[in-house]
Chains A and B, each alone.
Chain A
């Protein structure tokens, strides 16, 4: 596992805060869409400012940070993608009035997937080479994408009926 120096620790802390801020922004959007929520603009600003602070790190620190993420966070996130997907498929079979919940999970899924993609691409790695990114139940994103589409088709069909 790569060494986690003080600068890397700082970036990891900011990353955690970024995740929390994104979640709050999504909650605001769910409560009052279109940035009408009185706090939405503040959360957007928090996201921008944290991102700016993270971009301010020097190249070596940023690379060490990405390597740290790759070795620690990505496997956890990959598991989360898989677990979220399992829950979504399960929910999809039941859902009628819980569209908001499904959208929230879709956002979490997309976020997690985007972050994995971004980190691996920045490190010059194949984003979804199965032997590099292991998923809890042996699935990988192409499979996951297909399952996601199936889940939404199921919900759409359910809502139309």
Chain B
């Protein structure tokens, strides 16, 4: 694989970065579509406006990360830690957010259409203005 540099606006399309430590890295506006970021440490990373379409972020630690206005549509975030993350205005349509930790996450004005949120912990998450049309929640919550 060609070595590609991580940083603001970086081209990390389809990059294989699973398990890497990218904590606190500035990747705002980066193209990370289709990237494999499984189990990456990305706490406090700056990913505002990043393009993460269909990225594999399962098991990643994104606690406190800035993902505002990022495109995470079709991304796999199964089991990811998004506690305290800023996802304001993020596009998460059809993303898999099963078993994610979204405690205290800011999801205001985000697009959560058709997302899978089974088993997600959304305690204290801010959801004002979020579009949850077609989102799949826990059966208990859906029937409550």
Contact = CB atoms under 8 A, between A and B. Distances in A.
B51 A42 contact: yes
Interface of B: 13-14, 31, 33-34, 51, 53-54, 71, 73-74, 91, 93-94
A122 interface: no
17 contacts: A17-B54, A20-B53, A20-B94, A24-B53, A24-B74, A27-B93, A42-B33, A42-B53, A42-B71, A43-B53, A46-B13, A46-B33, A46-B53, A49-B13, A49-B14, A50-B34, A53-B14
Give the dominant DSSP class at B's interface.
loop
Given A21-B53, A46-B34, 8 more contacts: A17-B54, A20-B53, A24-B74, A27-B93, A42-B53, A46-B13, A46-B53, A53-B14
Given A17-B34, A39-B51, A24 B14 contact: no
B73 A24 contact: yes
B128 to A, nearest CB: 21
Contacts of A49: 13-14
Contacts of B71: 39, 42
A20 B13 contact: no
Contacts of B91: 39
Nearest to B73: A24
Interface string A1-45: 000000000000000010011001001000000000001001100
A82 B51 CA distance: 34
